[in-house]
Amino acid sequence: MVLIAIVGELGCHSEDTLVLTPEGIKTYKEIKVGDKVLAVDKNLNIVESRVLEIFEYPYTGEMLHIKSSRYDFLVTPNHRMLFRDRFDKEFKYVYAEMLLNKYHGHLPLQFNFVGKNQDLFNIYDYIPNERVTYVKPHYITLRKDGKKVMRKGHNRKLNGENLPPFNTDDFLKLMGWYISEGSIVNTKRNNLYYIQIRSKSHNEEIKNLLKRMKLRFGIYENNTKFIIFHRDLGKYFKERCGIHAENKRIPPEIMELSPTHLKNLFETMWKGDGSSNHVYYTTSKQLAEQLLILCLKIGYHANIRRIRMPNDGTINGRKIHPKHLCYEVSVQFQPKGYFSPHENIEKVYYSGKVWCFRTEHGNFFTVRNGKVGLSGNSGKTLTMTYLLWKQWFANGARVFANYHLYKIPYMFVGSMKTFNEIREGVFGGDELWLNADSRSHSLGKIFVTNTLARSRKRGLTIYYTTQLLDSIDKRIKKVTDFMALPVLNKEETVCTVYFYKGTSGKPTTFMKRMYFMADPVKQMYDTNEEIIPWPENEEESSYPEDGKIIFQESKDSEMLFFDTWEDAFKYAIDWYKKTKWLEKMIWW
């Protein structure tokens, strides 16, 4: 028997590393499977990616601290990092420990975003369209001659006409002024909400904007205060953008717009609360976190820091008297992400919990010490599936697996009894530690002491995947012959696999590297399949197909069962000839 571990140690962030989600910054403990986090696709476009798995475990040993004024990572040595050295034109995934010996290069800080382009914005898509009639009661007034006269009350419609859809860019500019310099004025007599904006240095710009939007407004206090008289517009900003500085926010529908639109919002926000030293100040925690995301989407990069402002400070010459904690968002308008192995990476000792996610896009954004970075996943199950297919297609080996395969004839192994009976072939055990960890339940002890010992005489090659080798029973780790470390490229189209003798992963044990195209292999298994541990009773199984020889074209097609391996092989080869599936795929 040959025992090969396919290790995907992506779970390698320090416990104090946070996660960037569409709603803002969260701890990894606040994220559940199925939640969405921010990630990038193969073209470095920012997308929302669903969390498929969450890993957390104790770790003691060496970690790598990769830091600069713009990024901060504390990761285990074989964490995947996107990196571009000075000789490359594109970013590629490398293990963090490889950066120790790299030349000068760059980590990605500048990304793209494909948002919605729309010429007009209608506020009534997000607030109810309600008309209000103000009833004015009978009242007494004085005539010129001094006599009191009773006058009859009347009904008066307030803002009876709907506002037309606004030019999107103009509306976003107005929103930027409201978020940075605006407030809501409540008229107590008739309970209306008007918008008030104060500005000394940009009053002409604001006046021209309001005229262009054809809004009714007044100018007060030496042309420094603008009041916009429309109840519905005030209601939209009150409900969607918040009132009071510490509660200001950007509405979700705005964050979905294209970078061309979003830059108009950013520019007026910056004119209000930005500073000449590239720092934006706000007392709203939610707004500060949204500004991080906004900067990423428009091609900038930002860090966040919580500070306590002095009792009397100034922003752009304007005196402020803070009552709350202030958030300082430092923006880099032309981010580079420069990296030097002599200045930006060091080895540190760490003892505590580490964690990571597996996401749909194979990466996600993290935040550490207020600095945003991009992290990657591994392709361990993908690699094992390719090795199983290759053993069958090239060598005619019998394939056994504890997860479902497509386009490969195989026997499904869903119980300890079936595993004990298999002979002569290759077995793929996805997350085999669920059964092999003797610390989990009594079945693990049986698996370690009996099954693996007997497997040496069965002519069986066992591939098993694990997130971390420390999760495996020490006895299994000791008898593991080889270790494979897979790395997907940025586009997730090519997987590079590094093979080592034993499980130390030291450079002296390196044997070879292998490449294969990822897209065809992704069609051979379900990336979202949940692996269920085998029942404690050896005779039981959670799957009716346990112990049966199967061929299945895809997840949605019917399972075909065969009595003999010869029949299954013949059907599979005929299927390949008939469909010419291999000819349609690109292989290395």
CA distance 96 to 373: 13
CA distance 243 to 237: 8
Structural contact between residues 109 and 68, judged by C-beta atoms closer than 8 angstroms:
no
CA distance 26 to 20: 6
Average pLDDT over residues 522-546: 79
Q: What is the pLDDT of residue 393?
A: 92
Note the pTM of the prediction, 2 decimals.
0.72
564, pLDDT greater than 90: yes
Task: Please state which of the ranges 4-8, 89-93, 118-122 shows the lowest mean pLDDT.
Answer: 4-8
Task: Please state which of the ranges 70-74, 179-183, 540-544 shows the lowest mean pLDDT.
Answer: 540-544
Residue 530: helix, strand or coil by DSSP?
Answer: coil
- How is 126-170 classified by DSSP, letter by letter? TS----EEEEE--EEEE-TTS-EEEE--EEEEES-SPPPPEEHHH
CA distance 561 to 555: 15
Task: Please state which of the ranges 38-52, 254-268, 278-292, 301-315 shows the lowest mean pLDDT.
Answer: 301-315
Structural contact between residues 43 and 37, judged by C-beta atoms closer than 8 angstroms:
no
Structural contact between residues 251 and 240, judged by C-beta atoms closer than 8 angstroms:
yes
Q: Which of 340-346's residues contact partners 24+ apart within 8 Å by CB, and which partners?
A: 340/104, 341/99, 341/100, 341/101, 341/102, 341/103, 341/104, 343/68, 344/66, 344/67, 344/68, 345/64, 345/65, 345/66, 345/67, 345/99, 345/100, 346/64, 346/65
> What angle is formed at CA 44 by the lines to CA 42 and CA 49, rounded to 5 degrees?
75
The encoded tokens of residue 78 equal 């074989």
The larger pLDDT score, comparing residue 333 to residue 457, is at 333
> What value does the CA radius of gyration of the chain take, rounded to a whole number of Å?
31
CA distance 63 to 352: 11
The encoded tokens of residue 250 equal 């950007």
Confidence band for 8, pLDDT divided at 50, 70 and 90: low
User: Nearest CA to 141 among 125, 158, 133, 153?
Assistant: 153
CA distance 95 to 78: 5
Question: In DSSP terms, which residues pair with 561 in a beta bridge?
Answer: 550
Average pLDDT over residues 197-211: 92
The encoded tokens of residue 117 equal 């382009």
All domains of the chain in start order, with CATH: 10-109+347-373 (2.170.16.10), 120-332 (3.10.28.10), 380-584 (3.40.50)
The larger pLDDT score, comparing residue 129 to residue 109, is at 109
Q: Which of 561-568's residues contact partners 24+ apart within 8 Å by CB, and which partners?
A: 562/409, 565/398, 565/409, 568/409
CA distance 375 to 365: 6
The encoded tokens of residue 84 equal 């571009």
Write the pLDDT tens digit of every residue in 420-470: 888 889 999 887 666 654 444 555 566 666 556 555 667 888 898 876 666
CA distance 540 to 404: 18
The encoded tokens of residue 482 equal 């080889």
Q: What is the pLDDT of residue 119?
A: 95
CA distance 507 to 494: 23
CA distance 552 to 561: 9
Q: What is the pLDDT of residue 341?
A: 86
Confidence band for 471, pLDDT divided at 50, 70 and 90: low
Average of per-residue pLDDT values in the chain: 84
136, pLDDT greater than 80: no
Would you tell me the crossing angle of helices 285-297 and 259-273 to the nearest 10 degrees?
130
Q: Terminal CA-to-CA distance of the chain, rounded, Å?
A: 28
The larger pLDDT score, comparing residue 309 to residue 488, is at 488
Write the pLDDT tens digit of every residue in 537-561: 767 777 888 899 999 999 889 999 9
Confidence band for 137, pLDDT divided at 50, 70 and 90: low
Let me know how long the chain is.
588
Residue 317: helix, strand or coil by DSSP?
Answer: coil
533, pLDDT greater than 80: no
Write the pLDDT tens digit of every residue in 73-93: 999 887 878 888 887 888 887
Q: How far is CA 119 from the centre of its chain?
A: 29
Which of 4-18, 76-90, 264-278: highest mean pLDDT? 264-278
Structural contact between residues 460 and 453, judged by C-beta atoms closer than 8 angstroms:
no
Task: Please state which of the ranges 187-201, 377-391, 539-553 shows the lowest mean pLDDT.
Answer: 187-201
Q: How far is CA 226 from the centre of its chain?
A: 40
CA distance 392 to 372: 44
372, pLDDT greater than 90: yes
Confidence band for 158, pLDDT divided at 50, 70 and 90: very low
The encoded tokens of residue 511 equal 């044997």
DSSP state of 100: G
Q: What is the pLDDT of residue 378?
A: 55
Pairing of the two strands 338-339 and 105-106: antiparallel
CA distance 424 to 128: 69
Q: What is the pLDDT of residue 154?
A: 46
In which residue are the tokens 């080592």 written? 500
The encoded tokens of residue 310 equal 């002095």
